[in-house]
Amino acid sequence: MISEQATKLLVAQVAHELGAHQTYLGIALHFERQSLKGWAKLFHEQSVEEAGHAAKIMEFLVDNEVAFNLPQVGGAPTSYASAREAVETALASELRVTGQFDALAGTARDAGDHRTLQFLQWFIEEQVEEERTMRALLDLIDSGINLFQAEAMLEGLE
């Protein structure tokens, strides 16, 4: 059985994942307006992935017969001062999500909620990859390469 506190945090995590979805979609739109199609594609794919994470959590809740209301989600900016600022925003979002999953795992562990703890392992591993990708994008930007030329390198970062 899923603990009551883990349930609350999982529902909150749905909101966090949908918020990350919007953040990535906003970043994709930022790059799209600059005709940086490869960058826009990468962040659009990231936005779809985040929505998928929310769906996975909701499916887990439904499979475990947890009733819940969908959380409200705020908006996200679609314009940034620079590519670096956009990617820093994405990395900050990933670091927040990592902290949220860590807290969730601690709550599940403390409650003896092994089912939820096992479920969260995939997300915790996924966060390592997400943070690595955002840091690699920052390194690419910081290298000074032209963002249009860098598009050819984006596929290898995922």
Tokens, residue 115: 């089912």
Taking only the tens place, the pLDDT of each residue in 119-129 is 999 999 999 99
Kindly list the domain boundaries of the chain, sorted by start residue: 4-152
The amino acid sitting at 149 is Q
pTM of this structure = 0.93
Q: Residue 57 above 90 pLDDT? A: yes
pLDDT of residue 158: 63
Checking phi first, is residue 35 left (phi over 0); if not, alpha (psi -120 to 50) or beta?
Answer: left
Mean pLDDT throughout 141-150?
A: 95
For the segment(s) 4-152, the CATH number from 1.20.1260.10, 3.30.200.20, 1.20.120.400, 1.10.10.10 is 1.20.1260.10
Measure the CA angle with vertex 83, ends 155 and 25; round to 5°: 70
